[in-house]
Amino acid sequence: MPLRLPDRLPAIDLLKQENIFVMDDTRAHSQDIRPLRIVILNLMPLKITTETDLIRLLSNTPLQLEISFMKLKSHTPKNTPIEHMMMFYRDFAEMRQEKFDGMIITGAPVEQLDFEEVSYWDEITEIFAWARTHVTSTLYICWAAQAGLYYHYGIPKYPLPMKMFGIFSQKPLDPQLPIFRGFDDEFMMPHSRHTEIHREDILANPNLQLIAESDECGVSVVMAREGREFFITGHLEYAPNTLDNEYKRDKDIRKDVAPPQNYYRNNNPANPPLVTWRSHANLFYINWVNYYVYQETPYNIEDIK
């Protein structure tokens, strides 16, 4: 089934060019189907890019999904036209009475700040608390994963001596979990971060389950509340050229920027990227929507609690 997206969302035309079937609201209302409601709190600077990346992955489920976008009232993005934000995003205050089958909270370029120093910390932690009673399952990505683990479970983050930057092999620690159905013994995941969380802190908390990790980049996926919360320290949603764009941007600003590891063919930045994570990224999101959202959410969305 297709995705239900707001009319005129830029991602619609971009994804149609990739032969991905999407449906705008006007057409979707003619179908008598109870779609799964997914809300995305998009904290990334390039909103349209992140919207497209996430919608691309969500489009592969056979279920009909209705996508909404949430924004913070306490933060004004600098890299996305205000017209786009006004047309497609709503403040949390406007949505707090609604319930959603699934939620995705993205990373943000604030990871080198202490959590409490982030200008919108009070509002985002209010959203973290709200999600527990208004959403069936929530995915926290990159900085949001670290912030969610800190807020909900007191897990600290630690600075890295060098940026974790590249594509790294991950091991599922419990292959029988539905989130890993169809996975190989190892899978690849992009990472781009200056901080990390430690496995000892996760293992010491009985409310958390470390379900995937890497010899190279450490903790990668943590599960809590039997799948009502997932914390992903990397970026399965990244498009093939995302790390390349980031590398070229940063090396023009600073001299100490190393190329992303395990990313370019023959590890040579003059070569194009080698995409090694796309199939597992699609499978991860399909499994999340199917087993942790669709199979667990009530038919009457107001019964979520």
Catalytic machinery residues: 142, 235, 237
CA distance 284 to 188: 12
Length of the chain measured in residues: 305
For the chain, how are helix, strand and coil distributed in percent, rounded to 5?
35, 25, 40
Q: Assign 207 to helix, strand or coil.
A: coil
CA distance 209 to 222: 6
What are the Cα distances from residue 63, in Å, to 4, 132, 143? 10, 23, 29
Under 8 Å between Cβ of 235 and 107: yes
Burial code of 273-288, b = ≥16 C-beta within 10 A, e = fewer? bebebeebbbbbbbbb
Tokens 């009985």 label which residue? Answer: 206
Q: Assign 139 to helix, strand or coil.
A: strand
Q: Which two tokens stand for residue 114?
A: 């202490």
Tokens 């924004």 label which residue? Answer: 71
Helices and strands per DSSP (H, E), number in the chain: 10, 12
CA distance 135 to 92: 14
Under 8 Å between Cβ of 188 and 277: yes
